[in-house]
């Protein structure tokens, strides 16, 4: 395709006047029609416009077109209204990865099966496993050992406290929808399906408080052992539902409150949880 | 002001090159996108600034335009110039972006004194003669003689390349009204230009 108007070109003064908005509408329209057709004048108008603004816009375009398609968890988080940096951090959380969630579901499913198959309504396997899933999920969420983002997280000007709380919430939000329905498959009273949430939620602040002293791994192990001791210790002498009955729930609540206070004090002292975890 | 006249044919116009670049963009070539940006962003910026004198809006529209080009380069059918196609994307983005803003007038104010009068004789070929189906003539004068409503329609549809429907939305009139006005405006323009040509000939 050849350009029909090859003999006439807008001169630099005309182009400058056009860019400055000094042409009347008809002159401006004439220049515009010419520019649409004339590659040469399009080249000559380049130095006359706001070049720094063009460069900035190009950087924004390049960033947009070069960013890879985001993984599904990030897109889901973004769809839920979280800002992109938060979504990326969440998606990088070790315990939010498919492998971790899958293993949690499998463990829980076996616990439910074990409980359902036992003739005398032993629900200990479920009570043992279910509350520990969110706890260990949180413990794994910010462990420096397997987190590829850890070096970034440490240096990023992003509140570590906020990150930990965010990840904790995200772990709960992803583990609970799986765990609660499985709980309904348990033999025994229906309230069992949700009763285990008491210790599960109480153990999270306990874990965080412990982690502020000994780190997430040791804290996770301690909480797991402690909880196993409670469940297994109650196995013989007490009714199966003892670990999640009302009185015990109050104790867990007290523990959670105590852990909250410890965390608060530690945080006050060190400015933020992130500094102690 | 002096128009520059080039003797002889100009070097090959890069329209072919533009089309090839768009084809490369469809294959995910960011270098081609960059080249298209270098070629077209400047005049698009200038032209958009004449519609809305807000650099932030213009920068956003430019960004949207080239991101749209990146994502949707296949929608270029290759039946027109890339420049016109890009302007179509950019101007539509601007119209939809500014739809809620009442303080922006997307059509030039044709009345009132121009800040710098342009010597019409300098820009004969710049006018869109082929589009209006005339060989030569005082198109600027003819446009000037149109009523404001007609000029607005000519600008939105003929010069800025909106469809009659989009122009109707922009101007706040029905599509049929746009069509009628456009038809009459073209007839008037042809009439004026024929008269002028006749006078020239005499």
DSSP conformation letters of A170-202: HHHHHHHHHHHHHHTTSSS-TTHHHHTHHHHHH
- Distance (Å, whole) CA A111 – CA A117: 10
Q: What is the ipTM of this complex?
A: 0.73
Cross-chain Cβ contact B47/A3 below 8 Å: no
| Chain B partners within 8 Å of A11 (Cβ) | 1-4
Min CA distance, A63 vs chain B (Å)?
10
Nearest to B87 by CA among B131, B35, B22, B43: B43
Cross-chain Cβ contact B66/A27 below 8 Å: no
Min CA distance, B165 vs chain A (Å)?
21
Residues pairing with B116 in the sheet: A23
- φ/ψ of B116, rounded to 5, equals -140, 115
Helices (H) and strands (E) in chain A, counts: 16, 1
Instruction: Return the H-helix or E-strand segment holding B72.
Output: none
Q: For residue A221, how many C-alpha atoms fall within 13 Å in the half-sphere facing its CB?
A: 5
Q: Is B148 exposed, middle or buried (0-12, 13-18, 19+ CB in 10 A)?
A: exposed
Query: Is the CB of residue A261 less than 8 Å from the CB of residue A255?
Result: no
Query: Is the CB of residue B82 less than 8 Å from the CB of residue B40?
Result: yes
Q: What is the pTM of this model?
A: 0.53
CA A208, A210, A211: angle at the middle one, nearest 5? 60
Distance, first Cα to last Cα, chain B: 28
Min CA distance, B202 vs chain A (Å)?
25
* DSSP of B80-93: S-HHHHHHHHHHHH
- pLDDT 10s digit of each residue in chain A, 277 long? 444 444 577 788 888 988 988 887 777 888 888 888 888 889 999 999 989 999 999 999 998 888 776 666 667 766 776 666 666 666 666 555 666 667 777 777 777 777 766 656 567 777 788 788 877 777 776 555 555 555 555 555 556 666 677 777 777 777 777 777 777 777 767 777 777 778 888 888 888 888 878 777 788 888 889 888 888 887 777 776 777 777 788 888 888 889 888 877 877 766 544 544 4
């Amino acid at each position: 395709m050849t350009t029909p108007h090859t003999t006439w070109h807008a001169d630099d003064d005309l182009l400058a006047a056009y860019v400055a908005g000094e042409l009347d509408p008809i002159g401006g329209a004439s220049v515009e029609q010419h520019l649409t057709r004339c590659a040469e004048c399009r080249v000559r108008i380049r130095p006359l416009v706001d070049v720094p603004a063009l460069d900035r816009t190009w950087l924004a375009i390049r960033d947009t077109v070069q960013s890879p398609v985001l993984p599904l968890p990030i897109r889901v988080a973004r769809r839920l209204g979280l800002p992109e940096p938060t979504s990326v951090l969440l998606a990088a959380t070790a315990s939010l990865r498919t492998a971790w969630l899958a293993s949690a579901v499998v463990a829980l499913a076996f616990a439910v099966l074990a409980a359902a198959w036992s003739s005398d309504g032993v629900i200990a396997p479920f009570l043992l496993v279910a509350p520990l899933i969110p706890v260990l999920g949180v413990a794994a969420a910010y462990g420096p050992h397997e987190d590829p983002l850890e070096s970034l997280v440490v240096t990023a000007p992003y509140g570590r406290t906020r990150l930990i709380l965010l990840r904790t919430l995200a772990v709960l939000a992803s583990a609970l929808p799986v765990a609660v329905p499985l709980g309904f498959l348990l033999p025994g009273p229906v309230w069992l399906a949700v009763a285990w949430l008491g210790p599960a939620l109480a153990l999270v602040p306990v874990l965080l408080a412990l982690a502020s002293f000994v780190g997430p791994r040791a804290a996770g192990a301690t909480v797991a052992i402690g909880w196993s001791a409670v469940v297994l210790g109650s196995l013989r002498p007490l009714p199966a539902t003892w670990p999640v009955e009302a009185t015990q729930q109050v104790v867990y609540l007290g523990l959670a409150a105590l852990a909250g206070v410890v965390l608060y004090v530690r945080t006050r002292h060190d400015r933020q949880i992130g500094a102690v975890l | 002001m002096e128009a520059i006249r080039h003797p002889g044919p100009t070097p090959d116009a890069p329209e072919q090159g533009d089309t090839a670049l768009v084809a490369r963009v469809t294959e995910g070539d960011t270098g081609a996108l960059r080249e298209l940006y270098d070629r077209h962003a400047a005049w698009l910026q200038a032209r958009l600034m004449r519609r809305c004198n807000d650099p932030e809006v213009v920068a956003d529209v430019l960004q949207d335009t080239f991101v749209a080009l990146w994502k949707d380069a296949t929608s270029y059918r290759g039946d027109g110039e890339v420049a016109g196609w890009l302007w179509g994307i950019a101007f539509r983005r601007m119209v939809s972006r500014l739809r809620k803003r009442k303080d922006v007038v997307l059509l030039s104010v044709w009345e009132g004194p121009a800040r710098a009068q342009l010597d019409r004789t300098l820009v004969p070929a710049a006018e869109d003669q082929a589009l209006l189906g005339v060989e030569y003539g005082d198109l600027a004068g003819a446009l000037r003689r149109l009523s404001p409503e007609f000029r607005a329609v000519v600008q939105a549809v003929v010069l800025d390349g909106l469809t009659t429907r989009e122009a109707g939305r922009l101007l706040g009139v029905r599509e049929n009204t746009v069509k009628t006005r456009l038809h009459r405006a073209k007839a008037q323009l042809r009439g004026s230009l024929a008269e002028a040509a006749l006078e020239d000939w005499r």
